[in-house]
Amino acid sequence: MNFKIDNLQYCNWSRKIFEINRSAGLDAVHVTIVYHEDYDELLAELKKWEKIFEENSDIIFLGKDFKDIDKAKNESKTVIFFGFQNCSPIEDDIGLVEKVMNLDVDLCSLLTTINLFLLLVAMKKLIVE
């Protein structure tokens, strides 16, 4: 089965955005739940998403595993998976990794931040020289 999946999305989420995703036929979206926020700020953002899921349950739901992508496609909904683009919410506490995973935040992309950092360093070097 073919799926449409959008990754690393970070925006001001709204009903309109979810409707656009549905009209595009997106089965799953990896939502960057927080960007440079810490663990406590992550918890606050997850609270906001509880309300978002409740208000938009006819078109989105929180994904727990890959099987939810098939479920979303069959129900004409979009499954939302939470993740990070860096490890800021884990701070410097390895114990937070398990806590974060128990909150259904399962994706953490370190390469995005590293690549951006390298790009900025290269650009600064070009500007200074």
| Per-residue pLDDT band at 116 (split at 50, 70, 90) | low
- Angle at alpha carbon of residue 33, lines to 72 and 97, rounded to 5°: 100
- CATH number assigned to the domain comprising residue 36: 3.20.20.140
- How many other C-beta atoms can be found within 10 angstroms of the C-beta atom of residue 112? 15
How high is the pLDDT of residue 125? 59
Convert the pLDDT of each residue in 15-61 to its tens digit.
Answer: 999 999 999 999 999 999 988 899 999 999 999 999 999 999 999 99
Domain count within the chain: 1
Domain housing 55: 5-128
How high is the pLDDT of residue 73? 96
Q: Kindly report the pTM of this predicted structure.
A: 0.81
Spatial distance between the Cα atoms of 61 and 78, rounded to a whole number of angstroms: 7
- How many other C-beta atoms can be found within 10 angstroms of the C-beta atom of residue 111? 9
Contact status, residue 83 vs residue 31, Cβ threshold 8 Å:
yes
Average pLDDT of the chain is: 86
Contact status, residue 26 vs residue 48, Cβ threshold 8 Å:
no
